[in-house]
Amino acid sequence: MTQSLSGPSRREFLKTTGRVAVASALAGTAFSGVHAAEDNTIRIALVGCGGRGGGAAANAMSVKGVPIKLVAMADVFPKRLAGCFQSLNERFAAQMDVPEDRKFLGFDAYRKAMDCLRPGDVVILTTPPAFRWVHFTYAIEKGLNVFMEKPVTVDGPTSRRMFELGKLSVEKNLKVGVGLMSRHSPALEELAKRVHDGEIGDVIHQRGYRMHGPVGFFSSLPKPEGISELMYQIQRFHSFIWASGGCYSDFYIHIIDHLSWLKNDWPVKAQGLGGRHYRIGPEGVPYIDQNFDVYAIEYTYPDGTKMSFDGRCMTGCQDIYSSYVHGSKGSAIGSRNGDCGMPSAIFKGQTPDRSQQVWESKVAPEEQDPYQNEWNSLIAAILNDQPYNEVERGVRASLVTSMGRMAAHTGQEVTYEDILNSDHEMAPGLDQLTDASPAPLQAGPDGKYPVPMPGITTSREY
């Protein structure tokens, strides 16, 4: 019978034991409490075989000193599963134990994949975010440790549900990592400590930017023949708010999360704006996605401090992808390029000039990958059976991000309580979904999907 597994957050673990202890925990000496003596292997199941799913599975199998095998895979798209398997098998053949009868397809595939695991094993949940609560519910029922990608919710009703599921997973001593990898960047960890200790004085303003050309499934043309409406929306999940929270939630959550961490608080309200500019695709065919091309959001913390966030998906415009913190005694760069691009730095004044720099992060090469760090921390936690559960923080980050999105989409000031207590569940009944189910979003008589209309539709996003 397998035993329960657990562990501390990376920061808590490092505070109590130091970085050397993490390496020791992963050196292969702590297996006795993981599984029965005849088999110390930690088994992994992958639910959602897209790019992040494959990346998370690769990080799991790259944890050093621990016997880890991928034993089951699940998706709704055969080609996606096959491609992911091939890619992983080329790199981790010795750790791949996924015969054809453990490759599962369909809306119940997540159950079949998790049924291949023992209590205390790990399931990776990397489907579109709308399905997170459905799959997490079954993982808890099976007694599985979990790694889930962000966002973990896209609206108020699913956030309330995930908060409760998070509490239940803590009660069951399950270890749960959430893919907000900025929290596992040593550069940002050190910067957070310095900011919290007052090195730049009181935080008076924060700025975040993610502005670049269209990526992922940001925009979509009308559904082609040969695929159902439901499968098309799942396939191109970034284009549909119900599936992913749209580009705002899926693309922007990392910087919003780590700026909140640097402030050591969560925003309580947001107001902002956005718009659709270039919505015509090839040969004059209109894009049908629900995203705005630009967003400009002002978040407010309980003490009145503001965080401004600008997002843009347009070609030909200036690219800015970074974060900044301004304090009463100085300023800081959080990420220079990307969601957590090193090095972080602190400056005397408000201009990030090298001549004014007073500190810059220095991180050992083996600790620079935050995606790998979050897996090292999760597995170390499992081996040491210590508390490790990022669900509550992941839901809060998802909810605060959705708060800003809703403010832009409605043209209203939206508070944390507004979004949390909203009754608009965008895709109810996902736990009952089948191949024959209608899509959660339906086109109107003109063939177009509903889009946000600020100032007209003000109590929900569409």
pLDDT tens for 351-406 read 999 999 999 999 999 999 999 999 999 999 999 999 999 999 999 999 999 999 99
pTM: 0.91
| Topology given in CATH for the domain delimited by 184-363+398-432 | Dihydrodipicolinate Reductase; domain 2 (3.30.360)
Beta bridge partners of 294: 275, 312
Q: What's the pLDDT at 131?
A: 98
Q: What's the pLDDT at 61?
A: 98
Q: What's the pLDDT at 447?
A: 77
| Topology given in CATH for the domain delimited by 10-181+368-389 | Rossmann fold (3.40.50)
CA distance 408 to 402: 10
Length of the chain: 462
According to DSSP, residue 265 is labeled S
Q: What's the pLDDT at 444?
A: 84
Q: What's the pLDDT at 290?
A: 97
Q: What's the pLDDT at 422?
A: 96
Using CA atoms, how far residue 361 sits from 185, 191, 237, 267, 390, in Å, is 11, 8, 36, 27, 25
Cα atoms in the 13 Å half-sphere on the side-chain side of 387: 8
pLDDT < 50: residue spans in the chain: 1-38
Q: What's the pLDDT at 22?
A: 44
Using CA atoms, how far residue 348 sits from 261, 332, 342, 358, in Å, is 21, 9, 19, 7
Q: What's the pLDDT at 13?
A: 36
Give residue limits of the domains in the chain. 10-181+368-389, 184-363+398-432
Query: Is residue 460 within 8 Å of residue 409, measured between CB atoms?
Result: no
Q: For residue 401, what are the contacts with CB-CB under 8 A and spacing of at least 6? A: 151, 245, 248, 249, 252, 253, 256, 257
Query: Which of these, 461, 194, 155, lies nearest to 327 by C-alpha position?
Result: 194
